[in-house]
Amino acid sequence: MNTSKILITGGSGMVGQSLKKLLPDAIYISSKDYDLTNESDVISMFEKYKPNIVVHLAAKVGGIIDNIEKPYEYFVENIRMNTYMVEHSYKNGVEQFIGILSTCIYPDTVESYPMKEEDLHLGPPTMTNFSYGYAKRCLAVQIDALNKEYGTKYQYLTPCNLYGEHDKTGHNSHFVAALLEKISIADKNKKDEIQLFGTGTPLRQFMHSDDLAWVIHECIDKKIYESFNVATEENLSIKQMAEMSLETLNLTHIKLNFDITKPDGQYRKDVSIDKLKHLLTDFKPLPFKEGIKRVYDKISKRHD
């Protein structure tokens, strides 16, 4: 595959780092190179690189508390980045555009689970990431509208929650990185308890970022232009995932304490991957237990 004309935004992020292993010669962009919320930066980037394939990973991404505290930032920054990226990809003749959504943009509740691609607009996204959810949904609307009006074959992939070696820890981290960081700190400080947000009951599909990178690579390599969900079929509760992690790491003496004054977020948002399995029959995502073993070492070394 000729990767010299593939431009990847969000190249410094977790998924960008996974994609670098599969597409080492692509062009990787971070916010230090171009601020994609600024249209003149986006124009300059396209003038410089003239890509024929764009993978748009960049987004303002954050944890539940940050989403609740800064709804306007999450809405406006994502709307701007996505609008300019699709618009200027089209104006510059980009052949394949892969936008990345998220399963948290699906309706807060639906009548039957797992949710299918066509359920996206059946109801509003959950209140805890309402702005982010709507901004990301607009990317789907924009891409579908462009395809309809101008005959492009742009697409979007909708991944479930992700984790990986390059996940952020500390303030604004996602669940798995935050969990592993808490376990690692407790282990090093010989503590026998960790505290987790909420009741522990919400269900989540969690996938390693390398698996999303593999799907993106396959879409480019096999010239697949469809839009579809990308997830694992493991739909586990927060409590189950925490317990599995402690078991896998042989640290079951550490007890879980749930802070029910903190928000749970959406109760469930599991999506169907029937379409993905039909398109990519070799899709074999890493089981959660194996992923935890791989990621824990990297995350725990951050505190050495």
Query: Which residues have a catalytic role annotated?
Result: 132
Residue least distant from ligand NAP (Cβ)? 13
Of 57, 79, 71, whose CA–CA distance to 213 is shortest?
Answer: 57
183 or 215, CB closer to ligand NAP?
215
* Phi, psi for residue 68 in degrees, rounded to 5: -70, -40
Distance from C-alpha of 139 to C-alpha of 101, rounded to nearest angstrom:
8
Q: Omega before 287 cis (within 30°)?
A: no
Phi and psi (nearest 5°) for 232?
-95, 170
Going by C-alpha positions, the residue among 203, 202, 204, 184 that lies closest to residue 194 is 184
Interface with ligand NAP by CB under 6 A: which residues? 9-16, 30-32, 34-37, 57-61, 81, 100, 102, 159, 161-162, 174
Residues contacting residue 235 through CB under 8 Å, at least 6 positions apart: 114, 203, 204, 205, 268, 270
Amino acid at 7: L
Tokens matching residue 138: 């607009």
- Rounded least distance, CB 30 to ligand NAP, Å: 3
Burial 169-198 (b: 16+ CB within 10 A, else e): beeebbbbbbbbbbbbebbeeeeeebebbb
Min separation Cβ 246 and ligand NAP, Å: 21
Look at strands 193-197 and 161-163 and give their pairing. Answer: unpaired
For ligand NAP, the closer CB: 32 or 190: 32
Reading the block at residue 209, the tokens are 């970022």
Closer CB to ligand NAP, 39 or 243, in the complex: 39
Give 34 or 296: the residue with its C-beta nearer to ligand NAP: 34
Between 7 and 162, CB nearer to ligand NAP: 162
146: number of Cβ within 10 Å: 18
